[in-house]
Amino acid sequence: MPRPSTKDQRRSQILDAFETCIARYGVEGASLERIAEEAGLARPLIRHNVGNRDELLQALVVRFLECSKNAMTQLLEALPSENRLTTLIDWLFDPALSDPRVVLVSEALIAAGANDPKLCRAMRKWIRDFLDDVAGVVASSYPDADEEAVQAVAAGIAAAYFNVESLTPIGPMTDLRDASRAAAIRLARSLE
């Protein structure tokens, strides 16, 4: 009986190592040598299981976007039927739900997008999808609000969230996080 393929397991191991390297060194600094060392694999195994550097980055971006989409879908599905927007804001600004590694990877991918049009489009879509999800909750919470106001409130909430979230890697910024949450709540209530 043939031994089961370890390609999927190795692929995940390699992408995990690539994420760790991106979080530490940025996209450009995440060399194949560093990835191989972090994964505990020989460099040729990276090419064999994932591909060249471009294929590796593409696979990581696809995985990052899928994980983000799944996490947001789960969050939206878990929102209660009442006080949806307030609950969403509470969760967005909850430090327990923040992951410094995810923040560092997203920031590195955004920065690398400045020199990579395909990556730029992917990251812009990621942000646009997030804004659309927030706007959907805003619109359902304030059905009489006009579309322009809904979009403005969603953008303000998202901007406050991304600002605070971007600081996660340097440690707790409790006062700023709390004030940003309060600002997001005030902004939402402006639609009343």
Residue 183: CATH number of its domain: 1.10.357
What does the pLDDT read at residue 5? Answer: 67
Structural domains in the chain (count): 2
Domain with 43, as residue range(s), is 1-51
User: Stretch 30-40: mean pLDDT, rounded?
Assistant: 95
Domain shared by 65 and 136, yes or no: yes
Q: Are 103 and 72 members of one domain?
A: yes
The proportion of the chain whose per-residue pLDDT surpasses 70, expressed as a percent, equals 97
Give yes or no: residues 171 and 108 share one domain.
Answer: yes
pLDDT confidence of residue 129: 98
Q: What are phi and psi of 172, to 5 degrees?
A: -60, 135
Q: Do 10 and 66 belong together in one domain?
A: no
Please check whether residues 20 and 89 belong to one and the same domain: no
Query: Does residue 182 share a domain with residue 101?
Result: yes
Check: CB of residue 39 under 8 Å from CB of residue 17: yes
One domain for residues 29 and 108 = no
Separation between Cα atoms, residue 111 and residue 103, nearest integer Å = 12
Residues 167, 77 share a domain: yes
* pLDDT (0 to 100) of residue 1: 55
Question: If DSSP codes are grouped into helix, strand and coil, which group holds residue 190?
Answer: coil
For 160, other C-beta atoms within 10 Å of its C-beta total 22
Same domain? For 82 and 43 the reply is: no
2 CB-near residues (< 8 Å, 6+ apart): none
If you count DSSP H runs as helices and E runs as strands, how many of each does the chain have, helices first?
Answer: 9, 0
CATH number at residue 40: 1.10.10.60
19/13 Cα distance (integer angstroms): 10
Mean pLDDT value across residues 162-182: 95
Q: Dig out the tokens for 126 from the structure.
A: 């990621």
pLDDT > 60? residue 59: yes
pTM for the structure as a whole = 0.91
68 and 43, same structural domain? no
Q: Are residues 30 and 100 in the same domain?
A: no
> Are 126 and 181 in a shared domain?
yes
pLDDT digits (tens, 9 = 90+) for 142-158: 999 999 999 999 999 99
| Rounded CA separation 28/34 (Å) | 11
Average per-residue pLDDT for the chain: 95
